[in-house]
Structure 1
């Protein structure tokens, strides 16, 4: 790897976008991210970084990468520049160009992942080049993760391993060059009810799962109202926790008593609300609803969930980012890997050049006039926290 020539910034964009790395809950669409990680690792190793590739357990085609430059290796201080290497699935017929080929048009780079968020890495490398001949007293760490768009399994693996060790971190998700210090968490839950089917002409022959679910939905709406009365954070555009009843399936025919139904919903809690407490309350409220003895109710999580995130407004990192960006740190509604890095005792902000409005959309793009400002911000942060 050491003899690899690191291409220019534009070529890095082309090569990264050309490496498909879709992560999806549908196994037929899910891919690995190893080619992206190995490409980045080769470039960074050529620049003098010490590169560690961490395959995910049970998924050898998926891996995290930790690349470290300078510092004493004792975990005391340093800056992490972090991004995920996977993208969401795409509808090729809705794109005006090939999602895996960078198209430069209208002062933009078009391509899948240009904004969210492979396009962050060439900017990190461009900023890091300014420090290759400087003695970094604290480590500069480039972190690339897997599966952020689905299970967060890459971030979870880092927490389990206790890596990386540093003092500060910037996650380059699309924030429009505005520092973000708070976001809501997310839970995705399901209630499954098994009743007893039978002929609809005689309700006593069965137990209707849809009618039982009606009671559950009523209780969920009561609980949602209670949470929204109890929790409020004016720092968010939607200042209360939300609960969305997303999809429901059940039954098979109008003249048959429904024997099974399932409701799936999400909850987006505010900072200060713990997922374990919320799940405990859900179980307490739903599983104690009086039901026919022929009815079985199960509450289950569709994925482990991501905690809400909040970084202290007075953190040195927040203050530095606010000064560099010319904006006060804000909140966003979408989730990131920030709470996982925060759990490793790393002061963390989310700050990137893209726009969330472009994420997960056909013809995703990164505006070219965002590149130099982001590189300059990264150079300033590296100089402040690593030199």
Structure 2
């Protein structure tokens, strides 16, 4: 069965729901997307290997050619949840609007796979000196379980890896880490008329927030990287819940916060510093403080500036490799020995938004760029 056209692939991928979410009512399997990709790539002669990470969640590793080295073109098969009422078009239908392809996953980032297939198709009659691997992972938008499983397995992939996240076709060699943490404070409730009847979890949380803000200020004085638009690490107090009535001493309070460390800042060291600040507060306020991550952290990522892949991407795109604040699967591929870069056609500003789109004038430049990368890493003998 012939592989569909580029636009038909885009449309089919967008029409295949693959939301991943920490909320079970939104979370879906990604099997429909993996099945499409495995079918198309198998028809083109790729050897397709499927790995079920958790029930209904799959990674796909498709390879053409064999041996060490080669190139990995990687992306995630899932999307964020969506509210159809906020879209001007059907989010699961590819729609052309003002020179853009609109649809959930067009930019971030199922559409990237269709562009990879378009790039490689005319090259398949040539002998591949090194392999091309196409990697589609699950649950990047929630737990990153697909990429984590690959890293944990430790199986080497290729010499270089390009992740097609939305960067506006500008190479990215650094990004911040992503830590999402939670504080739970258990005090003792009591009648508000007598503070001695209880231990306020809310007042203890006030003190904890003060310590977190003090640490944030300290880290922002000590750590800075001017390559980032926001050059310091950030700590965002995202949501807080506690208490139930004005006339009761607050017995329980919870805070969730987001910490974005720079490359070189170790997440476990950061957590240790937070625990050290919180420990005396529990004793002072006579409460129990539990501090734990909501999810395993995404480590900060940095690929050295003089890496072959970085130099090649800079030459092909005409842009110096830069930095972004959002997290990706790059550190996990880097752990497997790949020189790694984030480089894709979409714009992060429209990702996770109603009306997500990919500009059609990015299609051919992306295909050309991917074809040049494949030729460099796969059609020429290893240096």
The verdict on a shared fold, with TM-score over 0.5 as the criterion, is yes
CA-to-aligned-CA distance 1:338-386 (integer Å, 9 cap, x gap): 0110111110000001110110111111111000000000010111111
Aligned-residue offset at 1:286: 1.1
User: For the Cα contact (< 8 Å) 1:115–1:174, is it kept in 2?
Assistant: yes
Q: 1:285 to 1:232 in 2, by over 3 A?
A: same
Aligned-residue offset at 1:292: 4.5
Residue in 2 that maps onto 1:112: 104
1:318 to 304, 310, 325: 310
Aligned-residue offset at 1:290: 5.5
Residue in 2 that maps onto 1:259: 251
Aligned-residue offset at 1:279: 1.2
1:38 to 35, 40, 56: 35
User: For the Cα contact (< 8 Å) 2:190–2:248, is it kept in 1?
Assistant: yes
Residue in 1 that maps onto 2:57: 62
Residue in 2 that maps onto 1:340: 332
1:18 aligns with 2:5: no
1:27 aligns with 2:24: yes
User: For the Cα contact (< 8 Å) 1:33–1:62, is it kept in 2?
Assistant: yes
User: For the Cα contact (< 8 Å) 1:207–1:292, is it kept in 2?
Assistant: no
TM-score, with structure 1 as normaliser = 0.96
TM-score, with structure 2 as normaliser = 0.97
User: For the Cα contact (< 8 Å) 2:204–2:282, is it kept in 1?
Assistant: no
CA-to-aligned-CA distance 1:39-88 (integer Å, 9 cap, x gap): 100100110101000001xx22110000000132xxx2110000101000
Separation (CA, whole Å) in 2 of partners of 1:164 and 1:61? 25
| Farther-moved stretch of structure 1 (158-167 vs 204-213) | 158-167
| Farther-moved stretch of structure 1 (163-172 vs 192-201) | 163-172
**Structure 1 gap segments, 5+ residues each:** none
1:140 to 118, 121, 132: 132
**Structure 2 gap segments, 5+ residues each:** none
Separation (CA, whole Å) in 2 of partners of 1:307 and 1:358? 24
The alignment partner of 1:288 has SS state of helix
| Farther-moved stretch of structure 1 (282-291 vs 213-222) | 282-291
User: For the Cα contact (< 8 Å) 2:204–2:281, is it kept in 1?
Assistant: no
Aligned-residue offset at 1:130: 2.2
2:344 to 343, 352, 357: 352
Separation (CA, whole Å) in 1 of partners of 2:99 and 2:231? 36
CA-to-aligned-CA distance 1:187-246 (integer Å, 9 cap, x gap): 011111110000001111111111111111111111111111111111111111011111
May I ask how many residue pairs the two structures share in their alignment?
Answer: 379
Separation (CA, whole Å) in 1 of partners of 2:120 and 2:285? 65
Separation (CA, whole Å) in 2 of partners of 1:252 and 1:368? 52
1:368 to 353, 357, 360: 360
RMSD of equivalent CA atoms = 1.0
User: For the Cα contact (< 8 Å) 2:345–2:362, is it kept in 1?
Assistant: yes
1:268 aligns with 2:274: no
The alignment partner of 2:19 has SS state of coil
> After superposition, where does 1:118-267 map in structure 2 within 5 Å?
118-267=110-259
Separation (CA, whole Å) in 2 of partners of 1:13 and 1:99? 13
The alignment partner of 2:75 has SS state of strand
CA-to-aligned-CA distance 1:120-174 (integer Å, 9 cap, x gap): 0111001111221111111100000000000000100111122452110000001
Separation (CA, whole Å) in 2 of partners of 1:262 and 1:89? 25
The alignment partner of 2:237 has SS state of strand
Residue in 2 that maps onto 1:48: 45
User: For the Cα contact (< 8 Å) 1:158–1:164, is it kept in 2?
Assistant: no
User: For the Cα contact (< 8 Å) 2:156–2:337, is it kept in 1?
Assistant: no
> After superposition, where does 1:291-306 map in structure 2 within 5 Å?
291-292=283-284, 294-306=286-298
The alignment partner of 1:248 has SS state of strand
Separation (CA, whole Å) in 2 of partners of 1:107 and 1:201? 65
| Farther-moved stretch of structure 1 (93-102 vs 275-284) | 275-284
Separation (CA, whole Å) in 2 of partners of 1:382 and 1:35? 27
User: For the Cα contact (< 8 Å) 2:170–2:317, is it kept in 1?
Assistant: yes
